Structure 1
Amino acid sequence: MRWLLSGLFLCVSLAHAALPASLQEALTKAQLPAESVAIVIQPLDGNVPLISHNASKPMNPASVMKVVTTYAALEALTPAYRWKTEVYRNGPVSQGVLDGDIILKGYGDPSLNVAEFWQLLQQVQQQGIRQIKGNLILDTSVYAPEVSQRPVLDDEPWRAYNANPNALLINGRHTSFRFGVSTTSIKPAVNIAQEFELSQISIVNLMQVRKGACGDWRSDLRYAVSPTAEGATVTFSGTLPEQCDERYLELSVLNDTQYTLFTFGKLWAQLGGQFNGQAATGVTPPNANLVTTWWSAPLDAVIRDLNKWSNNVMARQVMLTIGLEAGLAPVDENAAALALKNTLRMRGLSFPELVLENGSGLSRNERISAEHLAQLLVTAYQRPVMPVLMASLPILGLDGTLKKRLPEPPSQGMAYLKTGSLEGVSSIAGYVQDRQGKRYVLVMMVNHPHASAARAVQDGLIKGIVEGR
């Protein structure tokens, strides 16, 4: 990285100055044409960028778009905002028996996990319902139907990152498969298990152990999913290096109705309840009786998980919530995008080039310019929500998606940054502090077939800012 450390701050503060020669050289070495790269480095205590290259060019930001979505959500909803999930019954209860259906009505909680769902069902039983004679009705009517029918990206329909939003989303609708090497038998073998086991998901294990370090353990792991009316069968094949400790793969192999029904059935039985019905989608009848309400963690806690681990479906549901709270129910992503843009305009952030498809960056169509992303970060830094937004971003070398980036001093802990990557896209944006305590906004977006090579350039920029050279 020495090429950049010696040259970065030789670029005198002209907003549209040419790239420093050292930075141009680094891009050439990475086979990245200058026209495929947009960079803004902006001191937070000044108005003139140190570097501004292709700043007004609309670029695909990949997951860096989550910064736009979460900042807008903090402004529109407040950090204390909570989602509710309601449980209704549409029949009488006598001696613990509900002679009717149980109804779950979702409002888009992006963080409702299995443990919280267990607590919600425990609350239902504490209201005197132990046996349900009817069915499980899933009310997702606050979302427009097309929200859960969006196409998947990169032909990976089973990967958890491609899960579509659902107003009643349980556990992100994903199954986490745990892989490990067992040495208890004569011949080492690969063990595969579900983290939250559903009996309706069957595992066929054809994997073998190979010698060597863990390294790129995913390179020879293959899977095939066979959906059925009763669940799904997942067949794993390939090899796992013998030196791997536990490794995980998140897949979404059940549809929303199946996942909620099977999870409900398992947890309800664990709590001692009885239920033999089926699940169906529907709308809560006007005369249904409210049994209990579950309230989510506040938004400030939700966006920490969202940004630190770049959770796509959570980001999509947060954007939809902005639309819902603007009175646009049933909401779809087009209406939510308009509500989000209106929130930004109210803070003086009018971005004509901004394209929002789902707010997560999991898109080939989303666009924003580097100068406007930097403007948003500068504005956010001056707003009351700044501590919450900054705390949600991965910390360089310490946690989230940046845990393994520049983990040694002096860079470790000196930046709060969101990364984004798709095939042909590599982006990074956030706040960097130098050793004198001065803070800068850094935005770099690359749209090019060799975009993956941009990481070394990004790391050089970060180190250059931190060390003040």
Structure 2
Amino acid sequence: MVFSVQAASTLDAKLEALIQQEDYVLGLEVRDMATGEVLFQKMLASQLMKPASLQKIPASLVALKHLGEKYTFRTSIGYNNRDVFVHFMGDPTFCLTHLVELFKIYKKKQGNVIRGNIYINRIQYPAFPHQDGWSVDSARFLYGALISNININNNSVCVRIVPPKSCGKNTEVVYDADQPPYKEINAMHIGKCNDYTRVQRQDCQFDGKVVSIKGCVPFKSNPFRVCLPIKEHQFEAFVSDAIKAAVKEAGLSFSGKVLFKPFDRKAIKVVSVHHSAPLAEMLKIGMKDSKNVVMEGLMVPIAMARPFYFRKESALDEFLKAKIKEYGLGDLGNARLSDMSGLSHHNLLSPAHVGQMLWHASRCYPCFSLWKETFALGGEDGTVSKRLKKAKENVKVYAKTGTLLGVSNIAGYIEKNGQKTVSFVLMMQNFTKEPSFYKELKEKIIYYLAHII
């Protein structure tokens, strides 16, 4: 669809009316997907801003092209003489059940006893357990879990809190089935809770051995889930516990040690292998549902292939920019790309950068159809499953959202009758009202764009 001068003028006037009255920093770009012409830019369209999870756009473009749509993460178990070796490649969807299955296959082929030690190939990527620019509080939540080539259950411990349905009973702490149970200190009480006494995130702690939860839980309230990420100083003990739990579940006898050291996979005889879902499917989780653990995991096999290069602090930024340019997706020269997920407050992208990538990807990116399907579909799935429902029947909105404290972004495509019409990039920051207000404002702008095409 090519916009006429009159339509573009109407677009300007209407969008100005929607955005001019509010107190926030705004970057906005709307682009005609038939011609690439920028139909509307506002205020900070070329100004660098925090992308939040819009950072997943360049990250996913690079990962999909560099690794390939059929790429799978390979986790394997092998042996050399008496010792067993577990080789992790960073699969962000790997869990304890998969580890148990690998050891069951080992048992079937090698017998019931592990006579030596079990070695784990832990590498130092990233140089620290979190990327540069992550805030301290990110590490307190599952979405900011520790990054490593070793990933078991998202490197976290998860429990369900189940309030009692009858008097005289206590609140239960129920561990997810797919993890080793830990000791617990259940100091919760039932009552009429208020904002000061109700269980808060700071009331839930894991010290590597014991889960402790305190606070008030309303009587007959709904069960809820708590996930506690593993801290760096707990990590090797956590992995060791998971290995021992999997060995026991598989019915193997083992009295040796679990040791962490790099090893050459070619020097061992592999007996069991687990493959993740293909990358194209995994990206749907990382993009549609904006799963940070998945997106950060995509960089691990790339870094493992060039371990010395990726020890450099600026390596990730250089790598992503070079690949975006190589693939003909734009020039991000003055941007800053510090992670794959968007959690870093050091990330900087402009709406124009994002608009360039959306446009060029639609024209020359060989995996475009697959990549576009990783965006959340308005009113149907992902982070916009309950939003953007009011578009016309023949209109679809493909969106990637991005949120941090004081940041509310969205970008994507609007299609009519199966044809791309416009791309949009909306970045709102430094606002003073409730975030819900800006979500609604973004929806009004997108509905308007969907209405006039």
TM-score by length of 2: 0.86
Q: Which runs of 5+ in 1 are unaligned?
A: 1-8, 92-99
CA separation of 1:73/1:18 partners in 2, compared to 1, >3 Å: closer, same or farther?
farther
Residue pairs, 1:30-179, within 5 angstroms: 31-32=23-24, 36-53=25-42, 54-91=44-81, 100-141=82-123, 143-144=124-125, 146-148=127-129, 150=131, 152-179=134-161
Paired letter, 1:202: K
Q: Which amino acid aligns with 2:8?
A: S
SS in structure 1 of the partner of residue 140 of structure 2:
coil
Aligned residues of 1:163 and 1:173 also touching (Cα < 8 A): yes
Give the deviation of 1:384 after TM superposition.
2.8
Structure 2: gaps (5+ residues): none
1:188–1:209 Cα contact (<8 Å) kept: no
Task: Give the equivalent residue in structure 1 for 2:16.
Answer: 21
Cα 1:176–1:345 shift into 2, 3 Å = same
Structure 1 pair 374–129 and aligned structure 2 pair: CA distance change class (3 A): farther
C-alpha deviations, 1:312-370, integer Å up to 9, x for none? 23212213434445x45573473233222221111222111221111210111001111
Size of the alignment, in residue pairs? 439
- 8 Å contact from structure 1 (residues 435, 466) kept in 2: no
Q: Residue 166 and residue 258 in structure 1: after superposition, are their counterparts in 2 closer, same or farther (change >3 A)? A: same
> Among residues 433, 441, 450, which one is paired with 1:457 in the alignment?
441
- Give the superposition deviation at 1:205: 2.4
**1:14-413 aligned within 5 A:** 20-25=15-20, 27-28=21-22, 31-32=23-24, 36-53=25-42, 54-91=44-81, 100-141=82-123, 143-144=124-125, 146-148=127-129, 150=131, 152-183=134-165, 185-187=166-168, 189-196=170-177, 198-199=179-180, 201-209=182-190, 220=200, 222-227=202-207, 231-242=208-219, 244-253=221-230, 255-284=234-263, 287-324=267-304, 327-328=306-307, 331-332=310-311, 334-348=314-328, 349-382=330-363, 383-407=365-389, 410=392
**1:434 CA displacement:** 4.6
How far the C-alpha of 1:222 sits from its partner, in A, is: 4.1
Structure 1 Cα separation of the partners of residues 394 and 108 of structure 2: 49
What's the CA shift for 1:300? 0.5
> CA 1:441–1:190 in 2, change beyond 3 Å: closer, same or farther?
farther
1:12 and 1:323, CA in 2 relative to 1: closer, same or farther beyond 3 A?
farther
Deviation per CA, 1:88-140, whole angstroms, max 9, x where unpaired? 3232xxxxxxxx32111222222222332232222222321421132221112
Rounded Cα–Cα distance in structure 2 between residues aligned with 1:90 and 1:282: 15
How many percent of aligned residue pairs carry the same amino acid? 21
1:259 partner letter: F
State the distance in 2 between where 1:322 and 1:11 align. 49
How far is 1:287 from its partner? 4.5
Distance 1:446 1:116, change over 3 A: same
Cα offset for 1:396? Answer: 1.6
Shift of 1:87: 2.1
The superposition leaves residues 186-245 of structure 1 with CA deviations (integer Å, 9 ceiling, x where unpaired) of: 2575332221365552332233445699x9x98855424252xxx332222233445643
Separation in 1, partners of 2:356, 2:243: 45
Residue type of the alignment partner of 1:48: E
Contact 2:78 2:268 (C-alpha < 8 Å) held by counterparts: yes
CA distance in 2, matches of 1:399, 1:108: 26
Any idea what SS the aligned residue of 1:351 has?
coil
Question: What is the SS of the residue equivalent to 1:392?
Answer: coil
Residue matched to 1:6: none
Q: Pick closer, same or farther for the CA change 1:431–1:409 going to 2, 3 Å.
A: closer
Change in Cα spacing, 1:11 to 1:75, as seen in structure 2 (3 Å) is farther
Q: 2:291, 2:200 → 1: CA distance?
A: 25
Cα distance in 1 for partners of 2:110, 2:70 equals 31
Q: What are the Cα deviations for residues 367-422 of structure 1, in whole angstroms up to 9, with x where unaligned?
A: 11111111111222232312221221222222222222234564898222111111
Over 3 Å counting, the alpha-carbon distance change for 1:84 and 1:436 in structure 2 is closer
Deviates more, 1:310-319 or 1:278-287: 278-287
In structure 2, distance between residues paired with 1:90 and 1:280: 15
Deviation, structure 1 residue 303: 0.7
How far residue 22 of structure 1 moved from its aligned partner, in angstroms, is 1.6
What residue is the counterpart of 1:94 in the other structure? Answer: none
Instruction: State whether residues 322 and 340 of structure 1, in contact with CA within 8 Å, keep that contact through their aligned partners in structure 2.
Output: no
Report the CA distance between 1:11 and its aligned residue: 8.8
CA–CA distance in 2 between the matches of 1:412 and 1:396? 12
Give the root-mean-square deviation of aligned CA atoms: 3.3
TM-score by length of 1: 0.83
- Runs of 4+ in structure 1 deviating by more than 6 angstroms, as ranges, are 16-19
